[in-house]
Every structure is written in C-alpha cells, then in structure tokens.
Amino acid sequence: MNAQDGAVYDGILRNVMAPANHESIFIKDLEGLNNLVRAAELQFQASKKDAVDSGGDGNAVGQTFSKMSLDKRTSLGVVTLNAISEAFPSEYVQQLEQKLKSMLK
C-alpha cells in the first residue's frame, strides 16, 4: 500500500470506523441499562404482589419472583442487580445493619 492509500485508509478508520464503533458500544450499554430497569421493575412488581397477597407474612415476599421462569437476559439483569446491591447497599440497609450491630452489643 502506498503512502496516499495508507492515509486514506487511516482517515476512514479515524473518521468513520471509530465513531461507528463508539456508537455501537453506546447502544449496547443503553440496552444493558434498559435490561437492568426491566429486571428491577419485574422484581419490584412481583414483591409488591406478594406483599399485598400475603396478609402480612413477610416470608411470602419474594416467593413469586423466585418461582418465575426468566429468560437469560433478564436472569443476567437480576444477577447484576444483586451484585450491585451487595457491593453498594442502600442507606436503609446500612442503617438496619448498624441497628442490628448495636442491638447485639
């Protein structure tokens, strides 16, 4: 390849392929976030149904969701949400843990 062809090729990579690649990655990231939202909403609605139908039995919450047959994408979203909640617990969970620690002292 001569120098002129090399310059054209480099220009195409820089001005066409790189932006297209960035756009593709951005779209995949948005789809992943959308999947997390769907998984969270499904989990929330199932837990809400359990809470309403249980008549006050706290052990019933989560039963509907645990029995659901989820597709692989939604299952991955649930696993990801669980990993996030373990790594970054909510303020409410942190407060409960602190209360529990203080009660056990």
Instruction: Please check whether residue 81 is in contact with residue 40, taking contact to mean a CB–CB distance below 8 angstroms.
Output: yes
Average pLDDT of the chain? 90
pLDDT tens, 42-93? 999 998 888 888 777 777 788 888 888 899 999 999 999 999 999 999 999 8
Task: Report the predicted TM-score, pTM, of the whole model to 2 decimal places.
Answer: 0.71
pLDDT tens, 1-56? 888 988 889 999 999 999 999 999 999 999 999 999 999 999 999 988 888 887 77
Place of tokens 């062809």: 5
Question: Token pair for residue 102?
Answer: 């203080």
Rg (CA), the chain: 24
Place of tokens 């645990």: 66
| Nearest-angstrom CA–CA distance, 68 and 34 | 20
| Nearest-angstrom CA–CA distance, 67 and 62 | 9
pLDDT of residue 61: 84
Q: What is the DSSP letter of 71?
A: -
| Nearest-angstrom CA–CA distance, 99 and 105 | 10
Closest listed residue to residue 42, CA positions, set 94, 78, 17: 78
